[in-house]
Every structure is written in C-alpha cells, then in structure tokens.
Amino acid sequence: MRLDQAFRLSSILLAATSFASLALAIVLPQWLLTLAGVAFAMALLRTNHASLISGLLLHLRFSALTWNVFLLLAFVGFWIDLLLVSQELLPAGIHFLVMLLVNKLSNLDQRRDFLHLYAISLIALLASAALTTQVWYAPFFLVYLVAGVWTLLLYHLVKERDEYPGDQPTGIDEAPSPSSLAHITSRFFWTTNAMAAGAFGLTVLFFFSIPRIGVGFFQNNHRESLRTTGFTEQVDLGAIGPVKQDPSIVMRVELPDAVGDESRREPLYLRGVAYNQYNGKSWSNSLSHRRMLTELPQGTFTLRTPGIKPSAAPARGLRQEILLEPLDTAVLFGAPLPVSVKGNFLSVQSDLMGSLHLPFPSHTRIQYTAYSLPVTVISTEARATAFLYPEFVVQQYLQVPAVDARVIDLARRVTQPATSVSETVRLIHTHLLTNYRYNLDVPSLQSAHPLEDFLLTRKTGYCEHYATAMVMLLRTVGIPARLVTGFLATEWNEFGHYYTVRQRDAHAWVEVYFPQSGWITMDPTPPAPDATMPTWWQSASSVMDSLRLKWDRLFVHYSASDQFAVVQGIRESGEVVRAKMSESLTAMLGQGSTMLGRFMKALTPAGIPQTAIFLIMAIGASYVVMLMLRQLGNGAARQDLYSANQRVVIILYSTMVDCFAQHGIVKPASATPLEFLRHVREQWSEAWPSADALTHLYTRVRFGHAPLTAEELSAAESLLHRLRTLGRSAPPSQKR
C-alpha cells in the first residue's frame, strides 16, 4: 500500500468513526444520512487510484464555485433549521456539521483539507459524547483514538516527505519511491496501537482519580421514562397482561448479604403497591392517604412497624441494593415487606398499606437500598379456628363486589374440609394452583365479569386473575386479604450477581391478614411456562447487561462518594491482607513439616514424575531466592559505597554548610571544600577557625579514608555547636 493511500484511508476511517457515533447518538434525517454515506463511498473509491470508477470520479468533480454555493446553502439551511424546523441549537448544529463533513470529504486535495476533516470529526465525536451515555460509545471512542494516532503519524510522514523530498533513502533497488510504506512495519503498526491504548488507559486513570465535585453532568441527563402499568390509583383487571411480553429492564437488584448457591436463586418478590377495593372490573386503593416518613441520619427512611425500633430495623432485614430505571411511577420497590429505605431522597412517603412512594417520579435512574422483614405465620395462629379482626381491617379488607352466587358457592365448597384459618387459606391457594391453567391470551378487557369468567367458565388466566380470585374467595369466607402488584424477579445474572427485573416480570399476588403475624405473602399463580431462549444467547445477553450495568455504575454515575468508597475499600482490603499474611505465615510453618513428609513419600519409585516436578519447583524456588539475595547484596554494596566514618563527616560537613547558608554564605555546587573555606574567611572571619578545623577533618576522613576518633568527633560536634551559637549571639558583621 502506498503512503498516500494509507493516509487517506486512515483519515476516512477517523471521520467515519466519529460520524457513526454521531449517527447513533442522535436521529439524523434520512437524506442527510444518505448524503454522508455517498460522500464516504466516493472518498473511499477515490483512494484507489487505479480503478476505472475512480478515474470516472476524477472527472466528476464539481467546481469550487459549486461547493461554495453548497456551503452557503448549508449555512442558510442551518439558520432555517435553527429558527424554524428543529428550533434547537444542538440538532441544527449537528446537521450543519454533517454538511461540512460532506463538503470536506468530497474535496480532500491539500493537506489542510485533511486537517479540517480531523477538526470536524473531533467536534462530531465530542457532540456525540455530549448526547449519549450509552456503553456503545466506548468502542467507537477507542477506534477513534487508534485511528487518530495512525492518521496523525501518517500525516506527519506525508508532510515530511512533501517538505523534504530529497531526504528519502534511495539505496533500495525496486524502490520504492518515497511514497511507499517501506518504513511502516508491523512494529510501527503495533506501536501506534499501543500508544492509543496507553492514551485510553491514561484517560481512564484520570477519570477515576480526578476528584469529583457534586454530581455528574450525565446524571441529570433527561431520559425517556419507562411506561409501567399496575401502580396507579386504579388498576383494571387484566392490565398487566399486555406488558408480559415487554423485555425492557425496569430495575436491577443485588442482594449483598445473601449467601448460598448463586446459580439457582429463588425468585424474589418486589412489592410495589397494594389494593383493597375491587368493583368487579378494577382494583383501587381507598387507603391512598400518604404520610411523610421521618428521616433518620444517612438518608434512611423507616416505616413505623409495631414491635420494632426504627433504628434496629435495617440491621435485621434483608438488604437489597436496587438500581431503578426512570419510571413513570413514583413507587419504590422492595421485597415484602419493606420496612426501611436508604437513598439520596428528599423525602419518602408511605400509604397505610405499606407502599413506599417518592413525592414525584424520578426522571433519572435512582439507586437505593431497601431493607425488608419477611413475615411468616406465628405458630399460635397457625392452628386457630377463627380470629377476631380489628374494626379497621374488617372495614377495609373484607369488601366484596356483587359477585355471582356460584363464586360464593365455590368458596364454601373449597374450604369445607378446613379446620383452621390457615388451613382455609391453604385450600384456596392449592385449588387455584391446581385447577387453573396459566395463559396470557385472555381477552379480559371486553369481559363484563372477568372474575366469574376466570373462576367458572374459562379457567385460564394470568397472575392478576389468580390473585383477584384468591382475594375474592378469601374475603367471601371472611378472611381479610388484599391484592399486591409488583415484580417477580427470576432472572439471575451470574456475571454481575444481581437480578435483572424486566417489564415482563410485572406480577400480582395476594397478602393475607393474620392479626398477630401481619400480612402474609401468598402467590396463587402457577409458574409461567419458560420462554425458552437459546442458552448462548441468554448468557451473552446477561454478560452484555452486566457490562451495561457496570458502565452505568462506574462511568455514568461515578461520583465523589464512589471515590471515597474506593479509597475506603482499598484501606480495608489492606488490613485484611495484613491479617491474612500473618495467618498464612503461621499456617505455612505448620504445613512445612507435613509437606516434607509428603515429599519423602513421593520419592518412592511410583512417584518419580511427582518427584521431578517437586525437584524442578525446588530448583526454581532456590534460584529465585538466590536472585533476591544477590539483589539484596547489591543493595548492601551500594550502601557501603561510603564507610561509616565517611557518612558521619559528610553529615557534619553538610550541617556546617547549611549553617553558613543560613547566614547568607552559600556554597555553590561547583565550589571545592577549600575554596569554600577561603570564601568563608573573606565573608566572616570569626567563623573561620571552626570552619577550617571542620573542613580539614572532613577532607581527611572523606577523601583520605583517615580513621575518625571519638575525640575528633566530639570536638567537631562542639565546633559545630559553637558555629551555631556564634551565629545567634553575634550576627556576622562583614556579611554582605
């Protein structure tokens, strides 16, 4: 490949990368995309000098005037765009930028045209950076960096060649004229790539190490909120059905304290809103009055739960780290039953049924920690035949709309054998689980009596039908219950160790009231048949998702508190490492003897290969030890460059020089000891005798290797002391 060709190609690659990232970040008009594509294709074809098409293209040049008119039109178009069409600076500017790009691509003749192209592509890349926080930007950026390094190096080579045409080596025969790529070896190629990667690594380092102030710029970036169903004041029966196919991600949940086999996580219920009123077609919440929760320190908001101190609740509960995508609802989710949330919230509200709400839906992704206490039936209530319910519960949770008599009949029939309340609940639960079929294709909204349809005639349905049926059956036999909507997280991401919760995981289930125990979670819906995906695809998508989560966590939402956490983590792990080191050292001493015994055993004929391995390892280890010892020896030798006496007098002499420096008599680096002594005599004759004695002691010991006696040392020290006091009591009079 010729130098010119390589240069053109890498320039076009550079421009193409930035254009592609721009096109992905913002929706460009169709005609603009086409225009740019044509320009790129033409530029690419032109790089190939020999072909017929490029010959044709060479004739197909527009004159400079045409391009000037084109640019003028583009500029006018920019103003029209800005004022009338898009009415915003950013899109209009980007459209204009693409026009400029097209112009430059079609007129790559001189070197400065290439420079302009680089400038335009840099602006395009920056613009797309400002427009997106998506993870796909990273590879584009990397390619841009690599192409940028190539291009600039090639640019320099081309420039050198053009400016100094005579300097080219002419010794080689077939050769290649100056414009060949003779000196661009694979080493050159890899060096440039390594340089680009190094620049990228440095950027990452800077990104993480430069202190953050406040919140990130991208954190406040507006995004499209996800539209959810099932969390409004009133929910029609069957509203969740349509979203059961939607794979968009709603939230991701980590269980930092959970232990056990990670590959088979239990499904996790994430409770959203509860409903208590059913009118035959839709559920509503008559207890929607919300009150503010008081904030404990560190942004923790706790529900007042009887019997549990607010401050103690987080310590006992199940901790969930939740990263919630921007939704159109203000509900905060948590495993049943959430008792406390911790996050960067202004305020948190709760209604009387334990749902948590923000004051308004968030337009950004929010991250919070929820603490939940699972509720189970306590043993005294498990066998009770009847309960006396409080007045409030009777009023709110036993309401039943006018239902078909057959439903009441069914309830009675199912619960006939029951001997206790919990037995009754269990019978209804099993009845629904076993006798009904899960099916999403239910024309529910047309039906006037969806509940009766489900229970008596069709006998197929999905979670809402099951839950509604169970609540109604329970209420019919006098047990208070309510419907809960939320998500059922089943998708465990093994790579990121978190649950991925999607729109299609939306779910509805039942909570049954026991006076002492509280609200017990029950799910009458049988598990949906698995939507089977090819496993490689599944794992690839989960890797991709965990990558995306990491990108969001590490880059988009990286903040000062994260930096602080990193520093703290490093310090803690340092302590852990120290503790482990001492632990393993003691363990090693103990294991040494057993190792030796095993080694001796391995020396038997059967274990010869093992012995060989052991021997090789031992030789390697001793070699390493030897190297280390030699290193240490070198270090020691370097230390012994000066004898102890020499070091002492060097210190003494330097102290003296410092002392004089404090009085304004500075020793230049190039002055020898005796020269400095003469200088001292001229400047400050009182100090001279001491300096003279010290200097001579210094030269004798330092350069003559004379022994240093204790008397000499103490005399020298007293001389130094005298020098200091002399300076203090009588400042040098002759000092200039």
Applying CB under 8 A, the residues found at the interface with other proteins are 641, 650, 653-654, 668-675, 699-700, 702-705
* Cβ-based nearer residue to other proteins, 217 or 703: 703
CB of 674 to other proteins, least distance (A): 5
CB of 671 to other proteins, least distance (A): 6
* Cβ-based nearer residue to other proteins, 592 or 635: 635
* Cβ-based nearer residue to other proteins, 72 or 661: 661
Helix, coil or strand: residue 175: coil
Four-CA torsion 244, 248, 251, 252, nearest 10 degrees: 100
* Cβ-based nearer residue to other proteins, 670 or 734: 670
CB of 639 to other proteins, least distance (A): 14
Handedness of CA 171, 172, 174, 178 (dihedral sign): negative
* Cβ-based nearer residue to other proteins, 171 or 704: 704
Peptide bond preceding 456: is omega within 30 degrees of 0, i.e. cis?
no
Helix, coil or strand: residue 159: helix
Q: Enumerate residues 6+ apart whose C-beta is below 8 A from 715.
A: 693
CB 345 within 8 A of CB 299: yes
CB of 704 to other proteins, least distance (A): 4
Take residue 316 and report the two structure tokens written for it.
């006992």
Take residue 4 and report the two structure tokens written for it.
């010119």
* Cβ-based nearer residue to other proteins, 567 or 651: 651
Partners of 499 in beta bridges: 253, 492
Q: Enumerate residues 6+ apart whose C-beta is below 8 A from 193.
A: 146, 149
Helix, coil or strand: residue 49: coil
Take residue 392 and report the two structure tokens written for it.
């409030």
Q: Enumerate residues 6+ apart whose C-beta is below 8 A from 733.
A: none
Q: In b/e form, how buried is each residue of 334-357, taking b as 16+ CB within 10 angstroms?
A: bbbbbbbbbbebeebbbbbbbbbb
CB of 642 to other proteins, least distance (A): 9
* Cβ-based nearer residue to other proteins, 114 or 653: 653
CB of 670 to other proteins, least distance (A): 5
CB of 672 to other proteins, least distance (A): 4
CB of 703 to other proteins, least distance (A): 5
The Cα–Cα gap between 372 and 260 comes to 19
* Cβ-based nearer residue to other proteins, 588 or 674: 674
CB of 649 to other proteins, least distance (A): 10
User: Parallel, antiparallel, or unpaired for β 338-343 and 366-372?
Assistant: antiparallel
Helix, coil or strand: residue 65: helix
Helix, coil or strand: residue 291: strand
Give the residue ranges of DSSP H helices in 107-185: 111-131, 137-163
Q: Is 308 buried (19+), middle (13-18) or exposed (0-12) by CB count in 10 A?
A: middle
* Cβ-based nearer residue to other proteins, 46 or 702: 702
CB of 669 to other proteins, least distance (A): 4
Give the length of the chain.
736
Q: Could you write out the DSSP letters of every residue in 411-456?
A: HHHHHTT--SHHHHHHHHHHHHHHH-EE-S---TTT-S-HHHIIII
* Cβ-based nearer residue to other proteins, 653 or 660: 653
Angle at 189 between CA 109 and CA 119, to 5 degrees: 40
- Report the half-sphere exposure of 205 (CA within 13 A, side-chain side): 6
* Cβ-based nearer residue to other proteins, 435 or 672: 672
First to last CA, the chain: 72
* Cβ-based nearer residue to other proteins, 268 or 652: 652
CB of 699 to other proteins, least distance (A): 6
